[in-house]
A and B are shown apart, each in its own frame.
Chain A
Amino acid sequence: MLEKRPQPSKAWSYATPLVAVLATMLFGGVLFAILGKNPIEAIGTIFWDPLFGEFSFYYRPQLLVKGAPLVLIAIGLSLGFRAGIWNIGAEGQYIMGAIFGAGAGLAFYPLDAWYIFPIMVIAGAFGGWIWATIPAFLKVRFGTNEILVSLMLVYVAEQMLASVSLGLLKNPEGFGFPGSRNFQSYDSGHNAELIAGSGMHWGVVAAFIAVIFAYVLLNRHILGFHIRLTGEAPRAAKFAGVNPARLILFCLGLSGALAGLAGMFEVSGPSGVVSIDFNVGYGFTAIIVAFLGRLHPVGILLAGGLMALTYIGGEIAQSQLGLPAAAIQVFQGMLLFFLLAFDLLTNYRIRAARSEVA
């Protein structure tokens, strides 16, 4: 028998992500055992080795590299999710950010100038913004469902990516192979590590700034108040004077711009080239990160780190234990499941069942 709490439980809202992680470890262990792996070893490889294992000096910087795009995208998504605006096409905005950012940089090739990288940053953000503004505009103007439109645009963006890496942005000196020039050998457009070997690049800096920005916005600014109000009580938001159309354009646009930035930082740094398979599903994983972080900026920061850990640990487990890559994907999916399920305890408490007609 469930009973609604008079108000949400603070303690449970902090505890649910932890409980969900533990439950995922448990069931993940069972899954790994079914796959014929030693569950304790597999869990250890995923969660322990990247941080404290023999080669952790190599993996720890990777944590920042993988975590930054996740956090950057998830922060943007969380603002929309809070307001009940469901942008699930961040993957597409991420790709468009990469295409725009890389395109802007390559347009200057081989010019060497300080302003090229800033221009790429702006172009990347713009690419993501414009891609997210399409569903925003359609929702505002025609009331079209933003979930479906933003998702459809992912598939369109993937085709665009294929198109430019085979055509427009193809490396003229690439001997006919698909893919663009490598930014790692174009200094003006390279998103290099700020401190060698640390994993810290501009994308990581941007992610931290986004966390702080979102925190201030949600807790101290009227816009953040309106975002929360719209999500919790849309009619009350209208009564408070919130303009829903402007809010939709803002939330979707901002999340698109952040996803675009993530794509741009990725393509000009860790990845280096625009190619058909450069994207690794950050846009979808970021949805898990956003929920796991309870749509709270600090939570998202932690969740992004955790998710990056499963990526890196998963790769280690893949090479050392032969754990299939898909198993990690299942593992991440499980995490979201358990989180949503345990979230119940924040708003409801369970009482001994009584004979009541439901």
Chain B
Amino acid sequence: MDLSEINPVLLVASLMVAATPLLLAAIGELVVEKAGVLNLGVEGMMIVGAISGFAISVETGSPWLGFIAAAIGGAVLSLLFVLLTQFALANQVASGLALTLFGLGFSALMGQSYVGVKPPSMGEIHIPIISDIPVIGPVLFQHDPILYLGIALTAAVWAVLKYTRVGLILRAVGENHDAAHALGYKVIKIRIMAILFGGACAGLGGAYISLIRVPQWTEGMTAGVGWIALALVVFASWKPWRALLGAYLFGGITVLQLNLQAAGVAIPVEYLAMSPYIITILVLVILSADKSSAPASLGRIFHASH
């Protein structure tokens, strides 16, 4: 065992990479839940995003096109959730599960010919001057653009929810859909937009895993990240910046356990590998006392009777 092999600079830098798929998916789901919809299909949308992004960037050679395709892929899958929950008025929990089961199968089918292929690399942005600062430079300013996009998206979602009318209406719909309807807001339309946004974000998060974090394609490679993202939204009490904090925390745990595995710590590999899941449970337990910030209409079916 040699803990000195763990380089703190690399650790923090890779922590940010590990956190990004979580953050993207969680921010998307946060918006969905703020609108009063519980989409448990994050895992399914992520894996579909992972394979669509992977396939398109391999075929076109452009990771950018890949990410766009991933966002579209995730959104298209979420459209199925829209059909089930907003038009067929199906139970949201069951529909989300269906999305995940279907997405896992569908991605495996699409990905058959991509196993073992290497995707084109996206490259990193080296922000001039500040990226050359020792320690801080490599940690913070030498990453791929999608990582920064994740942070920018967090800021944007925060600002929109807090300061804009669109954000206010979205929160109102999630809080009390009957009242929003009575005031003349299009509850279904607003929710559809939110669900599609959530799907696109999850797709991006999935593609981040297959194109940047790993980067290659294997079946079921999201391995529960989508579910952890759902937990993260609870952890964040539906607040964007807390989602960022939570994502980095979980990213840190994942990276640390991988580093410990590599360093050959005396703890069996399996126990290290299960640690992120156990910690997720522990965090959920600690935070479950406070439910006050959950949108009041979360998961309830809306049907305008009159």
Contact = CB atoms under 8 A, between A and B. Distances in A.
Direct contact of A and B (CB under 8 A): yes
Interface of A: 2, 4, 35, 81, 86, 88, 138, 142-145, 147-149, 151-153, 155-156, 159-160, 162-163, 166-167, 284, 287-288, 291, 324-334, 336-337, 340-344, 347-348, 358
Contacts of A328: 105
Contacts of B83: 341
Contact of A152 (B97, B224, B273, B289): B224
Given A167-B268, A330-B109, A358-B304, 14 more contacts: A2-B303, A142-B289, A143-B289, A144-B284, A147-B93, A155-B223, A155-B277, A163-B270, A288-B101, A326-B112, A330-B102, A333-B101, A337-B102, A341-B88
Given A153-B277, A327-B109, A287 B101 contact: yes
Interface stretch (B143-151, B156-164, B168-176, B226-234): B226-234
Nearest to A150: B281
A208 to B, nearest CB: 26
A261 B223 CA distance: 26
A138 B93 CA distance: 20
B305 to A, nearest CB: 7
30 contacts: A2-B89, A4-B303, A4-B305, A138-B285, A138-B288, A145-B234, A148-B231, A148-B281, A151-B227, A152-B231, A152-B278, A152-B280, A155-B224, A159-B270, A162-B270, A167-B268, A324-B109, A326-B108, A326-B109, A327-B105, A328-B105, A332-B101, A333-B103, A336-B94, A336-B97, A336-B98, A337-B80, A337-B84, A342-B88, A358-B186
Is chain B's binding surface mostly helix, strand, loop or mixed? helix
Interface of B: 40, 80, 83-84, 88-91, 93-95, 97-98, 101-106, 108-109, 112, 186, 188, 219, 223-224, 227-228, 230-231, 234, 268, 270-271, 273-274, 277-278, 280-281, 284-285, 288-289, 291, 303-305
A163 B271 contact: yes
A331 B109 CA distance: 11
B188 A358 contact: yes
Nearest to B284: A144
Given A149-B284, A334-B102, A156 B277 contact: yes
A76 to B, nearest CB: 16
B27 to A, nearest CB: 18
A159 B274 contact: yes
Contacts of B88: 340-344
